[in-house]
Chains A and B, each alone.
Chain A
Amino acid sequence: MSQKITKDRISSFLRERCCTTISPDVMYLMKKAYAEETSSSAKEMLKTQIENVGMAENQKKPVCQSPGFPTVYIRYGKGMNIDELADMLKKEIVNATKDGFLRPSMVHSLTRKNTGDNSGVGIPNIELEYDSALGFVEVIISFKGCGAELGNAMKIFTPAQIGEDAKGIKEFVIDTAIQAGGKPCPPFALGIGIGGQMDIAAKLSRRAVSVRRWTDHNPDPDLAAMEEELLDKINQLGIGPGGIGGKTTALAVKIGMSHTHTATCPVAVNFHCWVARRAGMRIYPDGRIQYLFDEEVS
């Protein structure tokens, strides 16, 4: 079965949807925040940020100089051909770097030597998921800002520390947001991974803000309520856009949960800057393409 994934299609998808603009759902939330913000300096900052996206689109330049860390999420069904996809993505990230759409930012972790073209060991991070029932190949490319990751935190909770109504976890999240302040390029989105083991919670926290639409609602009513409560509390903290005050601190809080062992509960808190350079598409066997992350609120 051929999905007609051509090099040109991957190239324009990467450049036009992931480098020179931001995810449409995030743009919708930015405009909503601008309309609702009451602090004049915060409003001014949001206005500049929104205008910058338009300028980047028009001039075909990177929205932000820092490309962040590249991850590609691929889901595919039975009989789907994804043979060349990973190689093609690797090559196109290097080509986009050579053409000025991405800054060369990948370095050896210890020597700090820059590879010069965003290639490197484990770059991009490619996460494959097979689901026999899927009738398409889904590709989500995400360049997740790394300055924002300096605010990330993780803690392994005991049942006693979780507390009643998960109060301990909520306090940990709020504390992490205060410590991070303006560092994660607010207005940010916060991904929270709860459960599994350490690595699983961390991965859930990243996926929550990378593959979910920021305007969606969590299908689990308990998690949906927790997302709403935390979003409301974070926006009361007064950190604001850029961290210089205002009521727009977070655009979204997204929680990913996995069951865990009866003795523990790992919790990971993961910031995503407002410059959401991520895009997704589903490629059907007949060549039809469906883009993800439209601004519609579900």
Chain B
Amino acid sequence: MKEEHLNTPMQKEQVLNLDVGDVVYITGVVCTARDMAHLRIKKVLHDKESLPEDFNGGVIFHAGPVVKKVDDGWKIWAIGPTTSTRMEPYAEMVGQLSVRAIVGKGGMGESTSQSLTKYGGVYLLAVPGCGVVHAEAVKKVLRVHWLEELGVPEAIWVLEVNGWGPLVVGMDSHGGSIFKDIAQKATILKEQWFNVKPGF
């Protein structure tokens, strides 16, 4: 298992080099995006309008922060991963945008796995439920998009992070997925427990 410190924008080669179980620390720019931001991005692309951010080589963080308004902008009070599986329908779109790292919790499914392989990306797990720990890595709120329309949790918060991690590679660009492996092993156990053969 490797430990890598990556800066944004990430190069495709850097993420191809990562395997399930590796630990990553990120420095640079991270964009939050949840359900409504993904939906909005999809609409913008469909209408052939321009996106507010360049996601090429970027990091998408499945998260909606607690923020405080301060004199010259915003402060992240607490932030952490939300359940990533909700963003599964946008797997292909996120791949096409050349997003190199998705950060979230709970893992994602087969469409994401295929997209990570096809376009070159990784899924990273951030420790769930740790709003203060993750907020400490955020140095600055650079910008926020679609705040009025989508509200605080669903807006795109563009954050500057420094040495953010440890983030664990849960899914890599070679089809590997910790979540899939664990579910398969657990299912075998379940079969042993409950599928007692007739007459046994």
Q: Is A11 on the interface with B (CB-CB < 8 A)?
A: no
Residues of A within 8 A of B64 (CB): 65-66, 103, 105
Residues of B within 8 A of A242 (CB): 105, 125, 127-128, 168
Q: Is A45 on the interface with B (CB-CB < 8 A)?
A: yes
Contact present for B131 and A244 (CB under 8 Å) = no
Contact present for A49 and B194 (CB under 8 Å) = no
Contact present for B178 and A244 (CB under 8 Å) = yes
Choose one: A62, A64, A66, A245; the contact of B182 (CB below 8 Å). A245
Min distance, Cβ A51 to any Cβ of chain B, angstroms: 7
Within 8 A of B (CB), among A71-116: 100, 102-105, 107, 112-114, 116
Contact present for A48 and B130 (CB under 8 Å) = yes
Min distance, Cβ B146 to any Cβ of chain A, angstroms: 12
State A273–B129 Cα separation when bound (angstroms).
8
Within 8 A of A (CB), among B147-200: 150-154, 166, 168, 170, 178-179, 182-183, 185-187, 189-190, 193-194
Choose one: A49, A52, A238; the contact of B185 (CB below 8 Å). A238
Residues of A within 8 A of B130 (CB): 48-49, 52, 64
State A141–B127 Cα separation when bound (angstroms).
25
Q: What 7 A-B pairs are tightest by C-beta distance, nearest first?
A: A114-B151, A147-B83, A183-B106, A52-B130, A275-B129, A237-B186, A185-B128
Contact present for B178 and A245 (CB under 8 Å) = yes
Residue among B106, B125, B179 with the most chain A CB within 10 A?
Answer: B106
Within 8 A of B (CB), among A235-259: 236-240, 242-245
Residues of A within 8 A of B106 (CB): 147, 181-185, 243
Min distance, Cβ B33 to any Cβ of chain A, angstroms: 15
Q: Beyond the given A45-B127, A61-B77, A147-B83, could you list 18 further A-B residue pairs with CB under 8 A, ordered by the A residue number? A: A48-B130, A49-B128, A52-B127, A55-B133, A61-B78, A61-B132, A64-B78, A64-B80, A66-B82, A100-B67, A112-B154, A116-B152, A145-B129, A148-B83, A178-B190, A181-B106, A238-B182, A274-B129
Q: Is B66 on the interface with A (CB-CB < 8 A)?
A: yes
Residue among B63, B80, B131 with the most chain A CB within 10 A?
Answer: B131
Q: Is A233 on the interface with B (CB-CB < 8 A)?
A: yes
Q: Which of A169-177, A197-205, A209-217, A287-295 contacts B (4 or more CB under 8 A)?
A: A169-177
Contact present for B133 and A183 (CB under 8 Å) = no
> Quick one: closest B residue to A163, CB to CB?
B194
> Quick one: closest B residue to A46, CB to CB?
B127
Give per-residue flags for B45-69: 1 if the beta carbon is below 8 A from chain A beta carbons, else 0: 0000000000000000001111110
Q: Is A154 on the interface with B (CB-CB < 8 A)?
A: no
Min distance, Cβ A59 to any Cβ of chain B, angstroms: 6
Residues of B within 8 A of A177 (CB): 186
Residues of B within 8 A of A65 (CB): 63-66, 78-80, 131
Q: Is B107 on the interface with A (CB-CB < 8 A)?
A: yes
Using a CB–CB cutoff of 8 Å, the interface residues on chain A facing chain B are: 41, 44-45, 48-49, 51-52, 55-56, 59, 61-66, 100, 102-105, 107, 112-114, 116, 145, 147-148, 150, 167, 170-171, 174-175, 177-179, 181-185, 233, 236-240, 242-245, 273-275
State A67–B82 Cα separation when bound (angstroms).
12
Contact present for B186 and A178 (CB under 8 Å) = yes
Residues of A within 8 A of B170 (CB): 243-244
Contact present for B83 and A150 (CB under 8 Å) = yes
Knowing A114-B151, A114-B153, A178-B186, say if A61 contacts B85 (CB, 8 Å). Answer: no
Knowing A181-B179, A237-B189, say if A55 contacts B168 (CB, 8 Å). Answer: no
Min distance, Cβ A160 to any Cβ of chain B, angstroms: 15
Contact present for B77 and A62 (CB under 8 Å) = yes
> Quick one: closest A residue to B155, CB to CB?
A114
Contact present for B154 and A49 (CB under 8 Å) = no
Q: Is B86 on the interface with A (CB-CB < 8 A)?
A: yes
Contact present for A64 and B125 (CB under 8 Å) = no
Residue among B131, B132, B166, B193 with the most chain A CB within 10 A?
Answer: B132
State A90–B154 Cα separation when bound (angstroms).
23
